[in-house]
Copies of this chain bind each other. A is one copy, B any other.
Amino acid sequence: MPHPPAQADGERVLADLNALRAIGAWKTGVHKPTFSEPHARSIEWLANKLPEAGLTAAVDGIGNVLGTSSKAGPKLLAGSHLESQNHAGWLDGPLGVIYALEAARVLNPDPNVNGAVEVACWCDEEGHFGQFLGSRSFVGAVSEADIDAARDRNSGRSMREAIAAVGLAGRPRLRAVRGRHVGYLEAHIEQGDTLESGALKIGIVSSIVGIWQYRIVFTGEQNHAGTTRMAIRKDAGLALSRFCVAIDATFPGICGPRTVWTTGRIELDPGAPSIIPGRAEMLFQMRDAEASVIERLEEKLHAMAAEATARGPCGVSVERLRTGAPAMMDAAFQDAIETASAELAGGKSLRMPSGAGHDAQILATIMPAGMLFVPSIGGISHHWNENTDDADIVTGANVFVETCRRLLTR
């Protein structure tokens, strides 16, 4: 006789998510930058919860939390993160952590379940100090020199100082133990409107798109905004605006069907109302599941910069800061999510790529990995309005717990 599907305690899941929302609350969301006081309290909250699932909690020297089990049998690693973007939503991160905690609470004490779910909370998935520093540390891809060099992108505070401020200085960093885990499972809000617009409940992530990031610098001539005639100006800010408009006009004709690109930050130097900016800088990002599409766009970007420089009056340079590599999700993990969705979400699931980066892409470099999405209301995320229906949160929890059971009992 087949085992009945595992069930999450929906009320417990919602209560835990709301408990985390209350730490660092901001409007209807949270403001929990990495190593902020509310982030540190959230880590502590989780470490205190893990024993409920029979797990031994450890917080390591980069702020990762790991709950390990002494139960015999296979171990499945599951989790997400607890820090947030600035003034952002309550579910991005905590949803996956609480689903993992719930799976461990339901499955670990069950003698019919072979093995255990171990819970991970990766530090700084949101990239305040770098790129996936927590999960990359766990897979062995972060050196001490990397940590020495890392700084908060907003405050400029060094990561060492931030780590010391939350009392973690000098602790060793936890590393993945080869062969310990059958794989890694992560749940997340979709952060787009695909599930909602299709009345679907579960997204089965097929791959995580690559992210390519660039610094584009415009060099003009700083001068007085009152005494410098328009004709002789070399306004780096205006050059930047022209470049953004040119990208917007050019890229749609040569991009792929799902390519996205974004200018997330602009800085004019010196940034005073009465000074013509002599230098301007933008952070530019492109994402696609196809590296060849990005190569084409990057080539265009360089050509546009060369043209603009030749035309004058400002110089334009393009520097790649980050090279993406799309990550494939494990086929058996996708199948397990699909089967669990058929049982517990009325089959309202869809295989889809993730446009956002996640720690699962880092874990995928050393073990099989999978991800499931729940719907985002209005597709909104990274904003305090980010939300998901309580019913959808509970459905997702059920599918997640059952997926874990299936992956452990294969």
Chain A residues packing against B (C-beta within 8 Å): 85-87, 127, 153, 190-193, 209, 211, 213, 221-230, 232, 235, 237-238, 240-242, 244-245, 248, 252, 258-268, 270-278, 283, 285, 287, 354-357, 379-383
Contact = CB atoms under 8 A, between A and B. Distances in A.
A175 to B, nearest CB: 27
Contacts of A266: 237, 266-268
Contacts of A264: 225, 237, 268, 271-277
Contacts of A383: 222-223, 278
B272 A285 contact: no
B260 A382 contact: no
19 contacts: A85-B275, A153-B272, A191-B224, A192-B224, A222-B382, A223-B379, A224-B355, A226-B354, A227-B355, A227-B381, A228-B379, A235-B263, A237-B263, A240-B241, A241-B263, A262-B275, A265-B271, A272-B382, A273-B285
Given A356-B224, A383-B222, A383-B278, A273 B232 contact: no
Contacts of A275: 85, 262, 264, 382
A379 to B, nearest CB: 6
Most B-side CB within 10 Å, residue of A213, A225, A277? A225
Contacts of A277: 263-264
B223 A380 contact: yes
A381 B223 contact: yes
A82 to B, nearest CB: 18
Nearest to A258: B229
Most buried by B among A266, A268, A273, A278: A273
Given A237-B244, A260-B230, A263-B238, A86 B224 contact: no
A56 to B, nearest CB: 34
A227 B273 contact: no
A355 B92 CA distance: 51
B226 A209 contact: yes
A226 B211 contact: yes
A191 B225 CA distance: 10
B224 A382 contact: yes
A226 B376 CA distance: 14
A133 to B, nearest CB: 15
A62 to B, nearest CB: 21
A6 B3 CA distance: 106
